[in-house]
A and B are shown apart, each in its own frame.
Chain A
Amino acid sequence: QSALTQPASVSGSPGQSITISCTGTSSDVGGYNYVSWYQQHPGKAPKVMIYDVSNRPSGVSNRFSGSKSGNTASLTISGLQAEDEADYYCSSYTSSNTFYVFGTGTKVTVL
């Protein structure tokens, strides 16, 4: 099972919006609405920001939003803030015998 494909890095200035893509196949991203996004700061555990493609857990800023089209999911961060600088990973349920697959990770830099 190959990892989902994400851009290695994305950057933006404070206040701007950025979008991170996550490309898989019809066996994972395209086949299920079980895409989630995780934020990870250095030395910390991942934290869920979006689940089931576009749902936000309680306590997560509404600046974070998710969507999906075909085999590609996207995470948008609007009103970029310094605290958003972190690594972001997508994840999807998969029909393969791996059950879950993660993305390659995207480093977000706030300029």
Chain B
Amino acid sequence: QVQLQQSGPGLVKPSQTLSLTCAISGDSVSSNSAAWTWIRQSPSRGLEWLGRTYYRSKWYNDYAVSVKSRILIKPDTSKNQFSLQLNSVTPEDTAVYFCARDRVVGTTKFFDYWGQGTLVTVSS
């Protein structure tokens, strides 16, 4: 059974960096059949896919164009986890952030496991 456990601060000041971590159990961050993903949810923007990291002989990243200039998603193989950094945050980045596993096997793509969610508020 795969479990994703999120950690990180719930309050970030405007213009600073939002940092969250997602610890994986029951799978490997280096899995060839998964992509490790960050998704956020807010009343104004709904559910929004932010980006992913995955390993296919080497590491790849994909990011949503809306945050591409400010986002970094990194794997940490030593701790079997991955992280999200979002720079220069504004109040519009206030949301519940989820990590999730994107099951990518053959012709299948969907988010089958999710973290518990972290409410991040951007406020001074």
Interface residues of A (CB under 8 A from B): 1, 3, 33-34, 36, 38, 44-48, 51-52, 55, 57, 89, 91, 93, 96-105
Chain B interface mostly: strand
Q: Which A-B residue pairs are the 8 nearest by beta carbons?
A: A51-B110, A102-B47, A45-B114, A36-B110, A100-B49, A34-B109, A97-B65, A98-B64
16 contacts between A and B (CB under 8 A): A34-B109, A45-B98, A45-B116, A51-B103, A51-B108, A51-B109, A51-B110, A55-B108, A89-B46, A89-B47, A93-B109, A97-B64, A97-B65, A99-B49, A102-B46, A105-B46
Given that A98-B65, A99-B62, A99-B64 are known contacts, is A48 also in contact with B111, CB under 8 Å in the complex?
yes
Residues of B within 8 A of A97 (CB): 64-65
Closest residue of chain B to A46 (Cβ to Cβ) is B114
Contact pick for B107, options A3, A33, A45, A104, CB 8 Å: A33
Given contacts A46-B98, A48-B111, A91-B110, 18 further A-B contacts (CB under 8 A): A33-B107, A34-B109, A34-B110, A36-B110, A36-B111, A45-B115, A47-B114, A51-B108, A51-B112, A52-B107, A52-B110, A91-B47, A97-B64, A97-B65, A98-B49, A102-B46, A102-B47, A104-B46
User: With an 8 A cutoff between CB atoms, is B117 at the interface?
Assistant: yes
Interface flags for B85-105 (1: CB within 8 Å of A; 0: not) read: 000000000000010000100
Residues of B within 8 A of A47 (CB): 114
A-B contact count (CB 8 A): 61
Interface residues of B (CB under 8 A from A): 46-49, 52, 62, 64-66, 98, 103, 107-112, 114-117
Residues of B within 8 A of A3 (CB): 46
Residues of B within 8 A of A51 (CB): 103, 108-110, 112
